[in-house]
């Protein structure tokens, strides 16, 4: 492979565009729910389904695609992911059918799962000889840019060109990345030893995860007891998976990734805790600003902006520091800052706009310090031929953590407010509540802050359990 700086930077640009696509479209779909609901005349619960449909394949298939990428070639699978994403996004608005739209969003999420697995793995492989932390910081910065621009750019697209425009923006961008990958990665392939994929076990594991994530995503919408068969069935599938996996010569998750690898285990555990504690916060604060402080959506977006902006600015810096100093203390410091921010939000009796901007800015500093160094720890703790499966496991922890974060925040707030009202606010289909529920929301808000703080401090401890220098 051509290891020249120019070629490496071209590859980094290509994978960064891919890393941008998933968070942008995921967030933009959530913002588009009211417009889509009007267009299709959807019920409350039909609209609530749309944002989580995209996340289900992201949480469910990353390990499968990580293993396939290790065996069949990461560049080949990465290009396939761009193709799936682009075609699904462009076809999503083609037919005026709610069920058809749901299917296309699911396949777009499937393509995003391929991209999220391979963009990190390819960057880690290409920059293994030096500068990996900085390159992963740029990759993380692209993710945060997607999250940051979705409210503003997605809002503009939806306002002036209706909801279809978010798909017509994302699809061509994926095609551009596909063409760039054909040029930047031409003549190279990244893979491990052939013949290691066991499709039976890989399919079982994906089915196990998809049953659990479906239950987590839809349990609060349709009722956990009505869907209780899903986790029971997932346990049966897990039993079958373990039965075959233990006896297999080609396990889907190699024991070498975990065995005597404290850095890998601690890093993925910390990543899970990080996303559980932080992912729902933007939604919670958006509701707090608009409902309690009566701030319009545009100004609310500006107030929340310091968090993702500081993430974007600090991720490459933190990655570069990780290259020089190791990732362990930098990532742990980031989690401490995150925990302290949430604790202050819990302790404040009332929270003003200025308080929110300052504390979310501090939270953004913590997140910016954590993400790239922790990813660097994960990717640097495994063999190069296992980088795909390592990236898949990390991605599964990340997106499962995101889903758990939303579900947990919804459950906590529903202890203080009607469940249908909370689901509507998180899905974007309800943006106002009556003054009757103000104090109830604030009580639930403070509990969410406290639990997020505790999880972040636990993550700070688990991050220090890595091997020294990692």
Q: Which residue has the higher pLDDT, 222 or 65?
A: 65
On the question of pLDDT at 350 being above 80, the answer is no
Closest of 231, 244, 9, 288 to residue 131, by C-alpha:
9
Same domain, 216 and 294: no
On the question of pLDDT at 470 being above 60, the answer is no
On the question of pLDDT at 351 being above 80, the answer is no
Same domain, 55 and 174: yes
How much is the mean pLDDT over the chain? Answer: 82
The two three-digit tokens of residue 242, written as one number: 């373990």
Given CA atoms 288, 294, 295, 297 in this order, what sign does their dihedral have?
A: positive
Instruction: Determine, yes or no, domain membership for 57.
Output: yes
On the question of pLDDT at 398 being above 50, the answer is yes
Look up the domain containing 399 and give its range. 5-197+252-463
pLDDT-derived band of residue 467, with 50, 70 and 90 as boundaries? low
The two three-digit tokens of residue 53, written as one number: 């449909």
Give the count of beta carbons closer than 10 Å to the beta carbon of residue 130. Answer: 11
Structural domain ending residue among the three candidates 224, 251, 278 = 251
Same domain, 307 and 369: yes
Angstrom distance (rounded) from CA 89 to CA 419:
31
Q: Give the DSSP per-residue string, 308-342.
A: HHHHHHHHHHHHHHHHHH-SHHHHHHHHHHHHHHH
Instruction: Determine, yes or no, domain membership for 426.
Output: yes
CA-to-CA dists, residue 470 to 77, 81, 466, angstroms: 29, 31, 6
Contact (Cβ atoms closer than 8 angstroms) between residue 419 and residue 437: no
Same domain, 40 and 125: yes
Same domain, 317 and 235: no
Alpha helices in 326-437 (DSSP H): 328-347, 353-380, 387-414, 419-427
Of 332-346, 349-363, 367-381, 416-430, which range is least confident? 416-430
pLDDT, tens digit, 9 for 90 and up, residues 244-255? 888 887 777 777
Instruction: Determine, yes or no, domain membership for 469.
Output: no
pLDDT, tens digit, 9 for 90 and up, residues 66-108? 778 777 788 888 999 999 999 999 999 998 899 999 999 999 9
Same domain, 119 and 211: no
Give the phi and the psi of residue 468 in degrees, each rounded to 5: -55, 135
Contact (Cβ atoms closer than 8 angstroms) between residue 155 and residue 165: no
Same domain, 344 and 424: yes
Number of structural domains the chain divides into: 2
Structural domain ending residue among the three candidates 208, 226, 251 = 251
Same domain, 304 and 203: no
pTM: 0.78
Q: Which residue has the higher pLDDT, 57 or 419?
A: 57
- Max CA pair span of the chain: 64
Same domain, 342 and 223: no
Position 1 scores a pLDDT of: 46
């Amino acid at each position: 492979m051509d290891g020249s700086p120019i070629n490496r930077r071209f590859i980094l640009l290509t994978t960064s565009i891919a890393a941008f696509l998933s968070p942008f479209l995921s967030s933009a779909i959530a913002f588009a729910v009211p417009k889509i609901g009007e267009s299709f005349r959807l019920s409350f619960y039909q609209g609530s389904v749309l944002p989580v449909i995209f996340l289900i394949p992201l949480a469910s298939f990353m390990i499968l695609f990580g293993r396939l990428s290790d065996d069949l070639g990461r560049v080949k699978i990465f290009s396939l992911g761009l193709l799936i994403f682009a075609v699904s996004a462009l076809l999503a608005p083609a037919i005026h059918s709610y069920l058809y739209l749901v299917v296309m969003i699911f396949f777009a999420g499937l393509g995003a799962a391929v991209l999220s697995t391979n963009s990190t793995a390819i960057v880690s492989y290409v920059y293994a000889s030096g500068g990996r932390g900085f390159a992963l910081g740029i990759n993380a910065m692209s993710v945060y840019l997607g999250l940051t621009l979705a409210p503003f750019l997605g809002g503009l697209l939806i306002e002036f060109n209706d909801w279809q425009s978010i798909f017509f923006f994302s699809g061509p961008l994926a095609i551009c990345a596909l063409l760039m990958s054909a040029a930047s990665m031409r003549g190279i392939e990244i893979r491990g030893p052939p013949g290691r994929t066991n499709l039976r076990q890989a399919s079982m594991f994906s089915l196990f995860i998809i049953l659990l994530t479906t239950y987590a995503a839809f349990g609060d919408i349709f009722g956990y007891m009505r869907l209780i068969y899903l986790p029971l069935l997932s346990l049966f599938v897990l039993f079958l998976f373990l039965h075959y996996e233990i006896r297999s010569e080609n396990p889907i998750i190699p024991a070498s990734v975990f065995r005597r690898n404290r850095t890998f285990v601690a890093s993925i555990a910390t990543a899970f805790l990080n996303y559980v504690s932080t992912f729902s916060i933007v939604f919670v604060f958006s509701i707090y600003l608009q409902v309690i402080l009566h701030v319009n959506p545009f100004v609310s977006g500006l107030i929340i902006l310091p968090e993702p902006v500081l993430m974007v600015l600090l991720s490459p810096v933190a990655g570069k520091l990780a290259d020089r100093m190791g990732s362990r203390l930098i990532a742990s410091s980031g989690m401490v800052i995150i925990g302290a921010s949430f604790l202050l939000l819990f302790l404040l009796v009332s929270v003003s706009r200025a308080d929110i901007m300052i504390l979310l800015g501090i939270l953004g500093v913590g997140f910016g310090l954590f993400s790239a160094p922790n990813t660097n720890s994960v990717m640097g703790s495994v063999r190069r031929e296992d980088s795909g499966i390592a990236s898949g496991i990390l991605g599964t922890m990340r997106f499962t953590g995101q889903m758990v974060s939303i579900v947990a925040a919804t459950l906590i707030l529903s202890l203080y407010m009607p469940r249908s009202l909370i689901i509507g606010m998180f899905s974007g289909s309800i943006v106002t509540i009556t003054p009757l529920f103000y104090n109830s929301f604030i009580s639930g808000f403070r509990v969410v802050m406290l639990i997020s703080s505790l999880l972040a401090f636990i993550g700070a401890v688990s991050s220090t359990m890595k091997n020294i220098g990692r």
